[in-house]
Structure 1
Amino acid sequence: MLTRRGMLKTFGGLFAAGFASSTYAVGIEPLLRLRTTTYQISPPGWPEGQKLRIVALADIHACEPWMNARRIGDICRYANDLGGDIVVLLGDYVSSMRAVWSQVPPDIWAAELSALRAPLGVHAVLGNHDWWDDLDAQAADGGDTLSHRVLQAAGIAVYSNRAARIQTATGAFWLAGLEDQIALRPGRSWNRFAYVGLDDLPGTLAQVTDDAPILLLAHEPDIFPQVPARVSLTLSGHTHGGQVRLFGYSPMVPSAYGNRFAYGHVIEDGRHLCVSGGLGCSIAPVRFGSPPEIMVVELG
């Protein structure tokens, strides 16, 4: 028989567990944890013996206190120690969260990112929040955002529907980067209800002029069903792994495909996608079962 004392103990235990989980999800996992997740992949179209180690950072969402300048700098120094041949940044450098003390100015977070180093350079695409928070870029329906400008000023190559051929000691590859797929908010006289993407996958891939393999950077993974087999690997962020992830499932994922592209290494029809869990938080400063991570991909 369940007594009154037993009921109180049960409810007390549930309350304590809920409080502990909430404390961990808000105060520990997003602020204090950082993991490195490594994938070793030999995708179709990638030449045998052509080695490439990619270090990928996504979804920084710079803000106080969750992702302040000091923490960004610490993450960059740690990323440099991972020995990547190339560093790629997968978008969303600014934060739109309301639950913050203050925003980190773009020139400050860009200065911290300028410390990143790799033999083949540091290369970036933008994310939706970099567009959504730039009112001038929204009003202009495109062009360069403030994030474009501060990254370039920091010496980081920014890809906006652009492909570049990169030569390495073991072979060449093409690095292609898409502009954001939901860059422009709805509300205009000509577009009241839908987000508008500025990405151009066919135009970007048309810049490839030889048979060297292609790596594609795309902030949102939702482009993946349209990516042709000619692309050896697509790298994305945006989803944060759902920020709350239990037993490989996230109840809320900012993707039209739900958990299909929420996180990790995805293979469909022989095509490969790697989705980073990202570093910062969006909407709410909560992470549970999806700690901030740096993604490392070893090809060849």
Structure 2
Amino acid sequence: MRWILFIIFYILIDIYAFQAVRTLARNSWIHGVYVLLSILILAALIYQISNMGAGKVMDINTMYVFGIFLTFFVPKLIIVVFMFGEDIGRFFTGIFMKVAGSDEAQFMASRRKFVSTIALGIAAIPFTSLLYGMIQGKYNYKVLKYVLEFEDLPGEFEGFTLTQISDIHSGSFDNRNKVEYAINLINEQKSDVILFTGDLVNNIADEMNDWKQLFSTLKAPHGVFSVLGNHDYGDYVKWESDSEKAGNLQNLKKLQKDMGWNLLLNENRYLKKNGQKIALIGVENWGENGFKQAGDLDKACQGILEDDFKILMSHDPSHWQSKVKKDPRHFHLTLSGHTHGMQFGIEIPGILKWSPIKYRYKNWAGIYEEFGRFINVNRGFGFLGYPGRVGIWPEITVIQLKKKQNTV
């Protein structure tokens, strides 16, 4: 029933958008190509989704079909808005001209052509953007650097740097050269420690088989640390048995160990430098809105002293907003990911930062500060669902810790 309603909606949108094409192009070949493309895209989407199975696991082929669907459908929605608005104006203008006794036919035709031209011109913007996002945007890696100051930072950690990556989603990769470039870019930052904040895979540990060796080359003097994200547990797969699911999670944990990563499962480690230390705390996924809540702050903080400088790794930023930022143990810096910045938005540094994801997550990209505590929400290394990025580029974060100087 849902498919029937969706197909009807799709056809109605398509017919309405077609009016703009027909107004500007009288060639029957163009009309035929339009109709054929619409049918093929709809058929491909239905076929791919129908063959995902009960587990609803989206592979890279399904992502591309979904991406192509969005690339064509979103511009059509924009066209429909213009054409519907024009039809309303056309209705009232027609009544007025009839009452006035004016010849409306020529005026209406020229008006329709003008509005159709504007509609198609504006619709071309999301079309080219979404297409670019799939071809180039998803591997348009950006290194974002921040300096954060703390009054109680241990002196030996003045200038200490950490590189954060998040949401690798290795099951989506389709270009080894681009991923290798990004790995080299991470190592080139020469940070003291590398921290990965969850979602290594889309669904199953085997997705990392082709990428394990490459990610094993990540190195830092104080090591590479990681936590689990919601996708790492295999919750979105229909497993044959609970033991099969548990085995997949064990494989994912072992894989990270084999890569030389230190996976923190509601536990902590001290990073030490010349007799001083800072606490690195890693919790399992804790999220709201139906996401897994396996994170246990109390367990993760066992052995940590109250006045220790603390860095917390927690995949979902809703954890910080709901639990962490007001915690009396004072977590100085929290590192999260999860949102991907929705892989779509507009960012003009210092002027504008917007994505639809902001209406679901208060902290969705970049640095935020409340109560003297900071969180960085990494925009993600990989991609999922739509196989691209528009305006919200894949991110490598470099944070330098500084001791705040008292000024009189």
Q: Give the 3 Å change call, closer, same or farther, for CA 215–142 of structure 1 in structure 2.
A: farther
Map residues 1-300 of structure 1 onto 2, 5 A cutoff: 3-31=111-139, 33-48=140-155, 50-51=157-158, 52-64=160-172, 66=173, 68-95=175-202, 105-131=207-233, 132=235, 139=242, 144-169=249-274, 171-181=276-286, 194-209=290-305, 211-225=307-321, 226-227=323-324, 228=327, 229-246=329-346, 247-252=352-357, 258-300=360-402
CA–CA separation in structure 2 for the residues paired with 1:279 and 1:258:
21
List per-residue Cα deviations over 1:173-217 (Å, max 9, x = no partner): 11110011259xxxxxxxxx9554211011111231474311111
Structure possessing the higher relative contact order (Cα contacts under 8 Å, 6 or more residues apart): 1
CA distance in 1, matches of 2:147, 2:299: 29
Counterpart-to-counterpart distance in 1, 2:344 and 2:203: 18
Distance change >3 Å, CA 12–CA 177, structure 1 → 2: same
Give per-residue Cα distances to partners, 1:101-121, cap 9 Å, x unaligned: xx9732332221110011111
* 194 and 12 in structure 1: CA distance in 2 versus 1, 3 angstrom threshold: closer
Residue 62 of structure 1: how far off its partner (Å) = 1.0
| Distance verdict in 2 for CA 1:133–1:4, change over 3 Å | closer
- Which amino acid letter does the alignment assign opposite residue 377 of structure 2? V
Rounded Cα–Cα distance in structure 1 between residues aligned with 2:303 and 2:117? 66
> How far apart are 1:154 and its partner, in Å?
1.4
What secondary structure does 1:42 align onto? strand
Greater Rg by CA? 2
Alignment length, in residue pairs? 281
Is the contact between residue 357 and residue 364 of structure 2 (CA under 8 Å) also seen in structure 1? no
Q: Deviations over 1:47-80 (max 9, x none)?
A: 356231001111111135x454443332111100
CA distance in 1, matches of 2:118, 2:237: 50
Alignment root-mean-square deviation, CA: 2.9
Asked whether the equivalents of residues 130 and 145 of structure 1 are also in contact (C-alpha less than 8 Å), the reply is no
The 3-state SS of whatever aligns with 2:256 is: helix
Question: Residue deviations 1:152-179, cap 9 Å, x none?
Answer: 1111110000101111248311111001
My pick for the range that moved more, 157-166 or 70-79, is 70-79
Structure holding more strand per residue = 1
User: Which segments of 5 or more consecutive residues in structure 1 lack a partner in the other structure?
Assistant: 98-102, 184-192
Kept in 1, the 8 Å contact 2:154–2:278? The answer is no
Q: Distance in 2 between matches of 1:92 and 1:243?
A: 15
One-letter code aligned to 2:386:
A
The alpha carbon displacement at 1:133 in A equals 5.1
In structure 2, the CA distance between the partners of 1:130 and 1:28, relative to structure 1 (3 Å rule), is same
**Whole-Å separation in 1 of the counterparts to 2:241 and 2:333:** 31
Give the CA deviation at 1:136: 6.5
Contact 1:179 1:218 in 2 (8 A): yes
Give the secondary structure class of the aligned counterpart of 1:290. Answer: coil
CA distance in 2, matches of 1:90, 1:22: 27
Question: What letter matches 1:151 in structure 2?
Answer: Q
**Paired letter, 1:10:** I
Could you tell me how far 1:142 is from its partner in structure 2? 6.5
Q: SS of the counterpart of 2:136? A: helix
Distance 1:136 1:203 in 2: 29
1:100 paired residue number: none
Which has a greater percent of helix? Answer: 2
Aligned in 2, Cα 1:62/1:155: closer, same or farther, shift over 3 Å? same
Mapped to 2, the partners of 1:137 and 1:57 lie a distance apart of 32
Assess if the C-alpha contact under 8 Å between 1:43 and 1:233 holds in 2: no
- 1:177 and 1:150 map into 2 onto residues whose CA distance is 18
Q: How many Å separate the matches in 2 of 1:160 and 1:136?
A: 23
Q: Could you tell me which amino acid in structure 1 is paired with residue 141 of structure 2?
A: L
Structure 2: distance between partners of 1:299 and 1:213: 11
TM-score for the superposition, normalised by structure 2: 0.62
- In structure 2, the residue matched to 1:188 is none
- Is the 8 Å Cα contact of residues 180 and 198 (structure 1) preserved in structure 2? yes
Q: Is the 8 A contact 2:203 2:237 kept in 1?
A: no
What letter matches 1:177 in structure 2? G
